[in-house]
Each structure stands twice: as C-alpha cells, then as structure tokens.
Chain A
C-alpha cells in the first residue's frame, strides 16, 4: 500500500525531472547560436533564399517556445529528427548504437558485480592480511589506471602478440567466426567487456570491501556467529546484504549512465557504441543527435535512479516511505 503510493509519487517526480532537463537542454543548445549560421559559416555563395529553405527544412523558424513544444511533442513519439551529419533518423541511430553499447556494458557490470563480491568477501573477512592489502592495492591501481592504457595493453597482448581476439569492431567484416553471428559477436565482445569489467570491478571492490569490513565489525554479526550459524551464512546472508546498502547508489549510477560512460572503450576498440557517437556529435555540432542522445541518457539515468530507490525500500526496511 505504502510502496505503491511511493512508486507513483516517484514516477510523477521523475517525469518532471525529465521535462526539466529537456528545458535546460533546449535553452542551452539555443544559447550556442543559430545552427544555420554556424553550419554555413564562411561558405561562399550562400544566398538568403538558401538560408531560408534550410531554416524551413529543419523547422527552425518561429519562436523558441513554439520550437520547444514542437520538439517535445516529437520526442514523446520517439522522433528526434534527422542527423545533420549522417542524414539518418536520430531515433534509429540511438537504437542501433545504444544496443551495441548495452551489449558490452551490461555483461561488464554483471561480471564486475560478481567478481567484486567474491574479492571483497575474500579481503574483508581477512582484514589487514596480505590478501586484503593486495586487494586494496590492486583495486586502487585499477581504479586510477587511465582507461585507454588497459585497452591498448589488451589489444597488444591478445590481438597483436597472441592473435586470438579481434582488436576492433562488433563483427568481422569478411568471414564470421565459425560462420555464426552469435559466436562472432561474442568473440568481438571479449576485449571491450573485459576492459569495462576491469574498471567497474576495481571501483566496486573498493566500495564493497570498505562497507563489508564495517558491517563485519557490527554486533549483530558476532551475534549471528554466537547463534551457531555457519560462517558462509553469516557473511553472505547477514553481512553482504547490509554491506550492499551504501553501494547500491553507485550501482544505480553505473547502470543509469551506462549509455554514455564507455566512449574511451568504444574508441579504443572502434566499437559502434553510443558513447563514442555522442562525443563525435558534440564535436561536429550535430544538434539533433546531441539532443536525442542527451535525452536518452537522461531517461536512462532517471529510470535507474527510480529503480535504485525502489531497491532501497526492498533491501532496507528502515527506509520510511514518506
């Protein structure tokens, strides 16, 4: 009863949040200046008629508010206009590139989650041991390592020296591995997923280990042990779930921003993903693409935040639904 009302309230709040972002985005993109003038700057032979027809083509006539509502009405129908640079429907591009990004991000986050749980338990249950210090040091180095460096090292080792994994792209251009789209796709995913998973693991381990060390010191853990529960149950059942509470927020952000947070990986491995496309769109001032990608990333982040808040209510009964 309380939960349902809470979720509805949060949904309404989320809708306002997205509209708020859309207003700010629209205002800022307009503040850059007239796109037609920027696009056609210093090109010879541009007449007023040409400017007029391009303005009409992109629907840039009329007042700012009129244009905002036209745009808002269109994006609700998942119509983000046409890319100026690629001349393709932006919605189609977001879908294609977005899915490619999810293909490497989701496995990377899930693998990182699993690995960091195992490593954190290993370290936290042996606090201040050599294993613990090793894990802290490793996670610190991993967390601070420049992204491209690991990517290049992976390519060097597995593609150049060993020659067992592809160094670029999502699929082979000529012969598919074992003549299968699936196997060939998975084969191409290995390195980018490994790179993303590595960085996520490092950060998650730092957070989770610290949280777990803290929880393992609590009285209720000693009490659970004093009740004769086996250590495995004490650690995984009683400690880990508590330790996850502070990590949940980070996990939510990780999922929420996943479309935009892999540009380095996508660039290093020439992966046709949204993160790299987004950076490119900004560099080339591809207005519809910038706006479309921003709205999609906003939508993902707001949704993930909403799910995180709901997850908090499920995992921690102390959270009051006010």
Chain B
C-alpha cells in the first residue's frame, strides 16, 4: 500500500496575486498529496491560501492571480504542463469541485436539469434522454426527493441545503476520481451542515473517490478527513493522519488552533469560567509576509532563528511532517 502512487501530488506550488500594491504570495511553496479513496482535510484561517490552492488544481485561478511555480501531479502527470484543451477535458470529468456558496454557484437562469445534463452531454456525448436519466439518478443519490420534478425547477426555488446537494450531484455526474470540496458547509445552517457532511462521507466511501476538503472548521475535518494538512499564510505547517493531528500535534500553530476550539466539557461562563484561548495577533499580510517562519510573530515558542530562517517541511514520524525549526526542521535563509 505504501508503495502505491498517490492520486494527487502537489509539489512546491506557488500561486501569487499580481496586484497594483505588489505581489501577494497567497500560496507560497505548498506540498501535499492525496491517496486514492482518502479524504485530505486542508485547514487554515481565512486568507491562508486554501481556496486559491484548490482552484489551482483545476488551473482556474482568477486574474490577477497566477500559478507561478510547482507541480500538480494527477495520476503521475503534471497538470501544469497540459494544454488548455486537455485541461478542460479533465475538469468535471476526472477532477471536479464543490463550491462554498450554493446560492451563487448555480446559474440562476437555467433549470437544474439544463445545468446538469449540459455537463453530461458535453463530456460523455450522452443523449438528452440518457443525460436526464443519469441526472435523476444522481439527484436521488444526493438525497433529493422527487428528482424528476426538481430537474425542471430553478435554483431560486430550492433551499440552501438542497442547492448544495445539487452542487454535489453536479460534481459527481461523471464519476470523478478526485473531488475538491471548498468549504462545502460554511454557508449552510448547522443542522444542514451535519447532513451534508454525512452525505459527502457516504458518497466518498461508496464511489471510492479521493476528496480534498478545504475548511477553516476543525470540527469538520475531525469527522471527515483521513489525513489533515494545516496551512498558515500560504504555507503548510503540518501534515499527518487525523488522529495524530488531534492527539499529538507538533506545530505550535496546530496546537494553538486546537486550543482555541471551544469544548463542550468546559464552562465558559460563571465564576469559575475559563477563557477560550485565542491566537494573539492577526494573520499576516501576504503582501509583506513576516521574515523567516511565517508564524514567528504569533508563536509562543519563537526564538531568534525563527525570525530569519524559513523552516522546511520534515518528517518527524512516518506520515507526519512538520515545518518548524523548534521541531528539528532545517531552515533556509529567507
């Protein structure tokens, strides 16, 4: 198993925004990999480069952003060297995406049926009738009642949870081997969130597909991810299997992130209340990122060397990599 090639391997990916104010290093040298039939959770604060890096997988980063360096090996082939035509043939068919906001990610003026069948007739040259049958089948799979009627409805006639189910159905139409889910539950009510996560987990297991689940919510990755990559300021802090991240986190940022999660067995009110810990300071401005380790100015363990050396991700145990000088990562001057 260990020798099996990962389905997706991202190496030293850099996506920069070329703005009037200067170059914003939104994703600045990121490595991660996704094995077959597993879910990789990518966790980080807003602005840590999560969404941009998943758009980069599809080569859809919007201008003024550009993927400036790195490799995205999908099934061993570098997506960054593919022609636009080859890339388009891959999108939606082998790699697809579930978007954050179901209210804006469906075209408001086309019926659900039109939007779903269009993808099938394009990719698989399916007939209208076959495409409709497949769309109905998938709507049933994602838990939508009366799918044949829904096909004729428009996005505004459906609830947020229902629209997200349609977003999921759209992503799965062509049986992709990799699904990128960008904060798929952030825009939904808490009760709906649980249902959608359950559905995603079920479908992922059923179709044995790989999934990249991008979120800022530790609770979401806790129940969904096989492995977790923690990102901070456009760089990876730590990658390990889910249990290790929660039970034996190494990177100070991962630890701080876990400590700042509210816990149900702690009381935050009353005379004996605890204060919910938070990470001091603010996420850095990526136009002018901190020198050395990006986290050093908010890190409780920072030393002088952290200010001038950029840590390189290093294995601390099999399948567990950390980039922190205090955990033995080598540093490069930057």
Name A residues whose Cβ lies closer than 8 Å to a Cβ of B: 127, 217-220, 222-231, 233, 237-238, 241-242, 245, 315-318
A317–B101 touching, CB < 8 Å? no
Residue B76 at the chain A interface, CB threshold 8 Å: no
B89–A228 touching, CB < 8 Å? yes
Residue numbers in A under 8 Å from B227 (CB-CB): none
Known: A315-B109, A316-B109. A225 touches B104 (CB 8 A): no
Number of A-B contacts (CB under 8 A): 79
A318–B99 touching, CB < 8 Å? no
B93–A228 touching, CB < 8 Å? yes
A317–B119 touching, CB < 8 Å? no
B 298-333 binary contact with A (CB < 8 Å = 1; else 0): 000000000000000000000000000000000000
Known: A219-B105, A315-B109. A228 touches B99 (CB 8 A): no
With an 8 Å Cβ cutoff, the count of chain B residues facing the other chain is 32
A318–B156 touching, CB < 8 Å? yes
B109–A219 touching, CB < 8 Å? no
Among B90, B108, B154, B156, which residue has the most Cβ atoms of chain A within 10 A? B108
Residue of A nearest to B157 (CB): A317
A228–B105 touching, CB < 8 Å? no
In the assembled complex, the Cα of A4 lies from the Cα of B55 at a distance in Å of: 45
Name B residues whose Cβ lies closer than 8 Å to a Cβ of A: 55, 58, 60, 62-63, 88-93, 96-97, 99-101, 104-111, 118-119, 122-123, 154, 156, 167, 170
Chain A contact residues, majority secondary structure: helix
Residue numbers in B under 8 Å from A315 (CB-CB): 109
Residue numbers in B under 8 Å from A218 (CB-CB): 104
Residue numbers in A under 8 Å from B92 (CB-CB): 226-229
Residue of A nearest to B167 (CB): A223
B119–A227 touching, CB < 8 Å? yes
CB distance from B95 to the nearest CB of A (A): 8
In the assembled complex, the Cα of A245 lies from the Cα of B107 at a distance in Å of: 13
CB distance from A313 to the nearest CB of B (A): 12
Instruction: Choose one: B93, B108, B111, B118; the contact of A318 (CB below 8 Å).
Output: B108
CB distance from B292 to the nearest CB of A (A): 35
Residue numbers in A under 8 Å from B122 (CB-CB): 228-230, 233
Residue numbers in B under 8 Å from A226 (CB-CB): 58, 60, 91-92, 96-97, 99
Residue of A nearest to B95 (CB): A226
Instruction: Choose one: B55, B106, B111, B119; the contact of A229 (CB below 8 Å).
Output: B119
Known: A219-B99, A219-B101, A317-B154. A228 touches B91 (CB 8 A): yes
B99–A223 touching, CB < 8 Å? yes
Residue numbers in B under 8 Å from A230 (CB-CB): 88, 122
Residue of B nearest to A223 (CB): B105
